[in-house]
């Protein structure tokens, strides 16, 4: 195994990680910003107000994107296992 191969494999692994975590983190970020704007406009400074909408948004993101996320991870992992004999050479 060459250094280029290991770097390429690590790059693909990081890219899959970004793709899989992106929808959940993005939706959590959008809901967090919306709640922060709502708190600034209404001058409600309750710290626990941000948790429930974020948790619900993340749960919805997992419901919507969960199947796609699992398929991406399964595809990447199955490619690693299938090509494992080629990697060891």
pLDDT tens for each residue of 56-88? 999 999 999 999 999 999 999 999 999 888 888
Question: Which is nearest to 16 in space by CA: 63, 72, 56, 55?
Answer: 72
Query: Residue 87's pLDDT is what?
Result: 80
Q: What angle do CA 30, 35, 41 make, to 5 degrees?
A: 125
pLDDT in tens, 27-57: 999 999 999 999 899 988 888 888 899 999 9
Query: Residue 24's pLDDT is what?
Result: 96
Phi, psi values for residue 75, rounded to 5° = -65, -45
Domain spans of the chain, in order of start: 19-84
pTM of the model: 0.78
CA distance 46 to 79: 47
CA atoms within 13 A on the CB side of 56: 8
Query: What secondary structure letter does DSSP report for 49?
Result: G
């Amino acid at each position: 195994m060459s250094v280029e191969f290991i770097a390429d494999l690590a790059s693909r692994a990081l890219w899959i990680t970004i793709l899989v975590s992106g929808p959940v983190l993005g939706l959590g970020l959008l809901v967090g910003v919306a709640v922060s704007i709502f708190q600034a406009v209404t001058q409600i400074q309750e710290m626990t107000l941000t948790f429930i909408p974020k948790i619900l948004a993340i749960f919805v993101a997992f419901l919507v994107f969960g199947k796609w996320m699992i398929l991406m991870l399964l595809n990447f992992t199955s490619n690693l296992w299938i090509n494992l004999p080629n990697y060891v050479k």
